[in-house]
């Protein structure tokens, strides 16, 4: 491929070079706590649709006998308690009634990314967690850091963008690391009708 089409392809990929150069940088070194502490009722509601029957999650005495301060949150549910609130009373989260309207702000997209091209599409591609210990009822957890591990520009069927890999620590209010999380994302500019 040569000519203007080749130049256009090279240009959009070149816009991602500052992001590629930032691999290793921490875009959010501060700790952001989840909206609420983990509580027994929320654990119970999490377990119900799964019918996940484990005494460590349901019986405080069994959990204490196993060495925990209280019932534990299943590992698969921990991430939800690291998410800061998206909405607060008096605020407006959506400024459009459009069908595919996005929130004005969201703690789960790539808003910390101040480098590279502006993107309007975003989704997670994969997630991996390494746990050091379970989270127990009564603890409030959050995320510390958002280290960029990789950036790979790529055009896909949904648009042009980049696959990004991020790493954060899941921490307690005291700063104890209870897990490490790695999330893959794709940030992109969606294709419009007529794009090929």
The residues, any chain, with a CB within 8 Å of residue 179's CB and separated by 6 or more, are: 78, 129, 130, 131, 132, 169, 170
For residue 175, give the nearest of 134, 195, 137, 145 by alpha carbon.
Answer: 145
- C-beta separation of 163 from 154 below 8 A: yes
The residues, any chain, with a CB within 8 Å of residue 24's CB and separated by 6 or more, are: 147, 148, 149
CA angle 158, 6, 116 (to 5 degrees): 55
**d(C-alpha 19, C-alpha 171), whole Å:** 26
Q: pTM above 0.85? A: no
Judge: domain 4-87+112-190, CATH 3.10.129.10: yes
For 140, left (φ over 0), alpha (ψ -120 to 50), or beta?
A: beta
Average pLDDT over residues 15-44: 94
* Per-residue confidence (pLDDT) for residue 119, from 0 to 100: 87
* Per-residue confidence (pLDDT) for residue 111, from 0 to 100: 57
Q: Report whether pLDDT(10) > 70.
A: no
Q: What percent of the chain has pLDDT over 90?
A: 67
Q: For 134-171, what is each residue's pLDDT tens digit? A: 999 999 999 999 999 999 999 999 999 999 999 999 99
Average pLDDT over residues 69-79: 95
C-alpha to C-alpha distances, 80 to 43, 54, 93, 108, nearest whole angstrom: 11, 20, 19, 11
Average pLDDT over residues 105-131: 80
If one compares 15 and 92, the residue with the highest pLDDT of the two is 15
């Amino acid at each position: 491929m040569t000519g203007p089409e080749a130049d256009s392809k090279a240009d959009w990929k070149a816009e991602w070079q500052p992001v590629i150069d930032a691999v290793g940088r921490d875009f959010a070194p501060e700790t952001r706590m989840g909206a609420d502490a983990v509580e027994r009722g929320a654990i119970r509601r999490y377990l119900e649709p799964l019918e996940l029957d484990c005494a460590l999650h349901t019986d405080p005495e069994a959990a204490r006998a196993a060495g925990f301060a209280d019932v534990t949150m299943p590992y698969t549910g921990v991430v939800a308690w690291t998410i800061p609130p998206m909405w607060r009373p008096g605020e407006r989260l959506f400024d459009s009634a459009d069908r595919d309207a996005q929130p004005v702000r969201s703690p789960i997209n790539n808003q910390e990314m101040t480098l590279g091209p502006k993107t309007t599409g975003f989704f997670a591609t994969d997630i991996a967690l390494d746990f050091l210990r379970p989270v127990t009822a009564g603890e409030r957890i959050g995320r510390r850091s958002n280290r960029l591990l990789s950036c790979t520009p790529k055009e896909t069927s949904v648009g042009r963008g980049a696959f990004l890999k991020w790493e954060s620590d899941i921490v307690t209010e005291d700063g104890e690391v209870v897990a490490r999380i790695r999330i893959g994302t794709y940030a992109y500019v969606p294709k419009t009708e007529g794009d090929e």
